[in-house]
Structures are given as C-alpha cells and as structure tokens.
Amino acid sequence: MTQDRNRPYHPLDQRPRDESRPAAKPFKDKSRFAPKPRAPKEQLPDDTDVLYGLHSVKEALANPRRRFRRLLATENALQRLLDDAVKLPLEPEVVKPEVIGKRLTADAVHQGLYLEAERLPLLPLDKLPQDRIILALDQVTDPHNVGAILRSAAAFGVGGIIVTHRHSPEITGVLAKAASGALEHVPLAGVQNLARALTSLKEQGFRVVGLDSEAPENIADLKLSLPLVLVLGAEGRGLRPSTGELCDHLARLDLPGAIKSLNVSNAAAVSLYAVQQATQRG
C-alpha cells in the first residue's frame, strides 16, 4: 500500500506490511477439493476510511466535511436510506450482499452498505475547544475499544480526542462500526508525543486528570472546571508512569461490586459522566 508523500502522515493510517516476514507456503493439495485461490483485494489509498453498516454510513453521508469515493448498497439498504430521507452526495452502485461481503472480513455485519470516503483531517492541538471535555488516549490500541470510546465521547459532547502517531489503532471498518457514526462528530487530534502534548495543554490552562484504578482520589469527589483533559490508559496496563506524572489529578472509579475494574471503553463512559458532573458543580 503506497503512501501519498504530499500528504502529512495520519496517526490512524493503515500500517505498512512487514516485507521482511517470510511468505506463507503455498497450498500443495492439487485434488479437486483444493480451495480456489481468492482474487487479491483492491488496494485503496491510505487516506481512505472504509465504513459499513447503517449508522456509520448514514452519519458519514450527512457530514458536509466528508469527501466520498464509492458507495455500494443492496436494493433493500438503498431503499432504507431513501425512506429515511438521506441525501446521497454520490451515485450508489446497487449490488448483491455478497459483493460487499467480499470486500470485508467474514464477521463484518455490513447491513447492505459499504462506503469509501476520504479521511477527515486532524484537528490541530491549539484548536481544541476549551469549553468542553477533551479525551487523551495513552496507547489504547484495540479498535473495538476506541470505537466504543468515540461513541461515548459523542454522547457526552467531548470536544476532541488526542491520539498518538504510534500505538493507536488503524481506522478500519471495525473501529467505525463500533463508533456507530461517532467518527463524524468527535474530531481527532494527532500528536507525536503525548507527554509534550499534555505539557502544552497545561501551559494553555488545561487541567489534566488521569484515570488510574490504584489512585488515591475518587473521581466522583473531585472539584473540576474546564478546560480539562481526561487521560485513559491502555487496556490492562493503564497509564504509563511518565503520563501519570503529568496529571494534576490521578483518580479512580469506586466500584461497589465484586469486579473492581472495567474495560477501558466502559471506564471512559463512566468517568466522562463523573467528570461532567464535577465540572457542572464547579
């Protein structure tokens, strides 16, 4: 997959394949039961978002900042878009469901819709709004989790999510499907170094709150005000020590049940609610 050298590298671009890895050995069974080789998948430009599923595609089509390249739809899915009064900014290609299925992984639930769109531009760090909560992801890499975090962020009106150029997931259909349209509503800010980014934001007046299950403070007890950055750590490992040292507060979620830790996407939703309540209290 080629990279457009005239376009700045996006932190969620697809990673280049490791050419040093040995090629898989060819299947040698020449019997009539040998599977037919699959045709190679079309190589898309690196700045392409592949979106599928009703919610992801509908929200993207309604986004005036999007530039579209291709829309595949089954007859039933296209009729559903028309019934919902969705304006189509490009001519759809009406296809059978299996045509879409061949372009995606076997477990993808595409609901008869497949969209190729140009990736949305990143938001510069100094353009992050100061009147809304900002999220920062410290090496959170699972696309399902990041998609779910985006969905919660959209629900709570988060002003932006800071991701790093490395140790962040690719924007794939999996992430977009989990986000359920939230990619269109929550801007991403890409940075080379999270520590430097947080330091810069602190200089602009942002307070930084890190979520840590072992922290001494309960996030529900904090008195907070905007502008504010809430930092979430990686799955399992949590915040890196270097990130925690930059936080003005390290806070935990007090959970009354037998399970004392949450998946990072669930923790994001609960902590966003707690921080939102704290900022409203002043």
> Taking the model in full, what pTM does it have?
0.81
| pLDDT for 131 | 96
Q: State the pLDDT at residue 12.
A: 61
Looking at the domain that runs over 125-281, which CATH code has it been given?
3.40.1280.10
- pLDDT score of 235: 78
Q: Which H or E element spans position 267?
A: helix 264-281
Angle, in degrees to the nearest 10, between helices 143-155 and 264-281: 20
**Main-chain dihedrals φ then ψ at residue 82, nearest 5 degrees:** -65, -40
> 124-150 burial, b for 16+ CB within 10 Å, e for fewer?
ebeebeeebbbbbbbbbebbebbbbbb
> What is the structure's pLDDT at 46?
83
Q: What is the pLDDT of residue 25?
A: 58
Amino acid identity for residue 37 in this structure = P
Give dist(CA 31, CA 16) in Å, integer: 35
Q: Indicate the residue type of 273.
A: Y
CATH fold group of domain 48-118: 60s Ribosomal Protein L30; Chain: A; (3.30.1330)
172 Cβ neighbours under 8 A, 6+ residues apart: 14, 50, 143
Who contacts 156 (Cβ-Cβ below 8 Å, separation ≥6)?
133, 269, 272, 273, 276
Residue type at 44? L
What residues in the chain have per-residue pLDDT under 70? 1-41, 170-171, 282
Q: Residue 250 and residue 211: Cα distance in Å, rounded?
A: 6
Going from N- to C-terminal start, the domains of the chain cover: 48-118, 125-281
DSSP E strand stretches across the chain = 48-52, 68-73, 93-94, 113-118, 134-138, 160-164, 188-191, 207-211, 217-218, 228-233, 249-252
pLDDT at 257: 87
Q: Hey, how many other C-beta atoms are within 10 angstroms of the C-beta on 236?
A: 7
